[in-house]
A and B are shown apart, each in its own frame.
Chain A
Amino acid sequence: MAKAKHLMADDSAMQPDPVIEAYKRDLDQSLLRENLQKTPTERVAALMELQRLAEEARRAGQAARRK
């Protein structure tokens, strides 16, 4: 019955968690609503743009530290 360990029948893992609830208070709901207006492809394309920005920021930081 090792397989049963993987299944998700146990709903106890879905009980409210105080830490998760605390994080929810600070979420940018407008950003989430904006994302939900996009198609899945547009959402992943936006992720790639974010990756490009993060890479450029890392590169700029490294360049600044070398000066």
Chain B
Amino acid sequence: MTDFPKLLAALCEGGVEFILVVGVAATVHGSSRLTQDIDVVYGRTDDNLSRLEKGLGPYEPYLRGAPRGLPFDWSAATLKRGLNFTLTTTIGDIDLLGEIVGGGGYDDLLSHSIEIELFGKTCRCLDLPTLIRTKRAAGRPRDLEAVAELEALRDTGGA
């Protein structure tokens, strides 16, 4: 099970620039759907990659679903060479996304995010209209039911 408070604390206390997106962002806006991991869009500056390395390092990030023993090096250099990382850690699963379809990267999304208080930490979460837009842009059939719920939340007056 993903320990959301610990993962959030690792990112927030490490000063990582990130925005909650996808499933947990939907939960923040009132969705009742089950999600197993935490998805964030992270800033791609060198400083932020170093903060990510330090913040998550103690929790042994590793490629999710990959056999143990691969030469995966958790470092800012590795993050710089890639973009989107699907990871497992000792406190749960996390997807680090450099970009999302229909939304772009951290700098593009910053003005489409809201500040929230979560487990005593202040962090940023994609706003509801943008969450809906990115889900629609992804165009995955399995997302259509989630979009229906998000639009209903928007129409009900969700944040």
Question: Chain A: residues with CB nearer than 8 A to chain B?
Answer: 3, 6-8, 13-14, 17, 19-21, 23-24, 27-29, 31-33, 35-36, 38-41, 43-44, 47-48, 50-52, 54-55
Sample (22) of A-B pairs whose CB atoms are under 8 Å apart: A6-B103, A6-B105, A8-B102, A8-B103, A8-B137, A13-B137, A17-B147, A20-B144, A20-B151, A21-B148, A24-B148, A24-B152, A29-B152, A32-B156, A36-B153, A36-B156, A39-B117, A41-B117, A41-B118, A41-B120, A48-B2, A48-B4
Q: Is the CB of B108 within 8 A of A32?
A: no
Chain B residues with CB below 8 A from A23, complex form? 144-145, 147-149
Chain B, interface size category, equals 35 or more
Partner of A44, one of B119, B152, B156: B119
Whether a CB of chain A sits under 8 angstroms from the CB of B104 is yes
Given contacts A23-B144, A27-B152, A44-B27, contact A6 B108 (CB under 8 A): yes
Q: Is the CB of A13 within 8 A of B148?
A: no
Partner of A47, one of B35, B101, B108: B35
Chain A residues with CB below 8 A from B134, complex form? 8
Chain B residues with CB below 8 A from A28, complex form? 32
Q: Which residue in chain A gives the minimum CB-CB distance to B101? A: A6
Q: Which of B119-156 contact A (CB under 8 A)?
A: 119-120, 125, 130, 132-134, 136-137, 144-145, 147-149, 151-153, 156
User: What 4 A-B pairs have minimum CB-CB distances, sorted nearest first?
Assistant: A6-B104, A23-B148, A35-B30, A40-B28
Whether a CB of chain A sits under 8 angstroms from the CB of B57 is no
Partner of B133, one of A8, A17, A31, A33: A8
Chain B residues with CB below 8 A from A48, complex form? 1-2, 4
Q: Is the CB of A43 within 8 A of B27?
A: yes
Docked pose: A28 CA to B45 CA in angstroms: 42
Q: Is the CB of B104 within 8 A of A3?
A: yes
Whether a CB of chain A sits under 8 angstroms from the CB of B10 is no
